[in-house]
A and B are shown apart, each in its own frame.
Chain A
Amino acid sequence: AAGVIQSPRHLIKEKRETATLKCYPIPRHDTVYWYQQGPGQDPQFLISFYEKMQSDKGSIPDRFSAQQFSDYHSELNMSSLELGDSALYFCASSAQPAARTYTFGSGTRLTVV
């Protein structure tokens, strides 16, 4: 069965650089989510898109932006990277409402040096 595809798996960037993470959700899932998981932390919700429109926003820094494209893939753009942005970034997808499964991608491990 198709899963949520994230790329790249690992990314190393220097401070003040820009990073772009990509996510391809499960076909027919109408909602995409982005989560950030710091070392030893639980995943924190950043932003979501329902049918290509932003549907909810969490604790996402202003330096971050995201969008969902016509082919349903989503990108998380992070600018002016800081050391504290080093984390595991997950994309997930589901079919609303009352989803019984949220499928997560394998994550992108971002290291800012």
Chain B
Amino acid sequence: AQKITQTQPGMFVQEKEAVTLDCTYDTSDPSYGLFWYKQPSSGEMIFLIYQGSYDQQNATEGRYSLNFQKARKSANLVISASQLGDSAMYFCAMRELSSQGGSEKLVFGKGTKLTVNP
């Protein structure tokens, strides 16, 4: 079963507007972490923002903020004042414990392709 769900295959936004990219997750672990990565067409995976399950406040990093609703198991990424350079693929990911022991790894959603229009 998919542990990270991104329901928006593609999103469009006008330059300078804000956009929200949706992410829901499924876990029974009380301690987990949620991540957002940006992947431009060049291919690299760029870390944007992190939210821990015990963090008291929603994470913010510059123009990026995370709307963390624990009861709903959602961790939506909000990008304010969109720029043309924000056009990219965006992946939501969750840190999960391995079934084989105490190691951890990231599992990814299918991604959302964001296009910023001038």
Residues of A within 8 A of B (CB): 31, 33, 42-43, 45, 48, 50, 55-58, 88, 90, 92, 94, 96-104, 106-107, 109
Contact = CB atoms under 8 A, between A and B. Distances in A.
Contacts of B31: 98
B68 to A, nearest CB: 14
Contacts, number: 69
How large, as a class, is the contact surface on chain B? 20 to 34
A57 B98 CA distance: 9
A42 B92 CA distance: 10
Interface of B: 31, 33, 35, 37, 43-47, 50, 52, 91, 93, 95, 98, 100-111
A43 to B, nearest CB: 5
In the complex, the 3 A-B pairs of residues with the closest C-beta atoms, listed nearest first: A55-B103, A104-B45, A42-B108
Contact of A50 (B47, B103, B109, B110): B103
Contact of A56 (B35, B37, B45, B101): B101
Interface centre among B37, B105, B106, B109 (most CB of A within 10 A): B105
